[in-house]
Amino acid sequence: MLHNRTTIINTALMRVAAPGATSPDEDSQAAQHANAAYDRARDLCLASYPWTFAAKFKALEQLAEASVPNLKSYTLPPDCLRVIGVSTLCYGQACDDYILAGKALHSRHAGLVLHYVSADATQTFPDHFADALAWRIALEISPHVEQGAVNAKTYLEMHEFSLDQAKVHNDAQAPASPTPSAYLQERFG
């Protein structure tokens, strides 16, 4: 099942024993705090791991002026939270020699394709990630909803646990990458 902003905010509000929201921009104080914390919490959770459901590919456009001598410069997409990998456009080979600086990528190669985690605000999220995100929002809003954020430590522990579960679930959905072995290559290769 996929979860959107409203269902995730409602889950977070339920966890801090606040009334639910029918829309993300509801007038209740708890819903306003949850709505304010949502984008930051979402970006924090998305940037923490190379999630397959949030991954995108984009051919990068080279900038006219390179800010680093002898390297070509590219602007990262505005929704890029984490770089997963870079490859060449022509051959599709992995490009490991690049430098990230701010919102720019610098490399000696021309024609690069970026594989990255996107912060697409309109997307929906799978169960395990939505659970981790809801716990993060509950942690963020607990000082404003509860007296003194009594359960903040529990919310943090639950967020970390559910984020680990989401990572395991994410990796189970993606095919395992082959691990090169010099022994096996020599034996069978």
Listed range (26-35, 56-65, 127-136, 173-182) with the worst mean pLDDT: 173-182
Reduced to 3 states (helix: H, G, I; strand: E, B; else coil), residue 129 is helix
Tens-place pLDDT, residues 64-115: 887 778 899 999 999 999 999 999 877 778 888 899 988 899 999 888 999 9
What pLDDT is recorded for position 189? 61
Q: Number of C-alpha atoms within 13 angstroms, CB side, residue 50?
A: 10
Cβ contacts of residue 182 below 8 Å, gap of 6+? none
Tens-place pLDDT, residues 16-44: 887 666 666 677 888 899 999 999 999 99
* DSSP-H helix ranges across 146-181: 152-173
Q: Answer yes or no: are the C-beta atoms of 13 and 19 closer than 8 Å.
A: yes
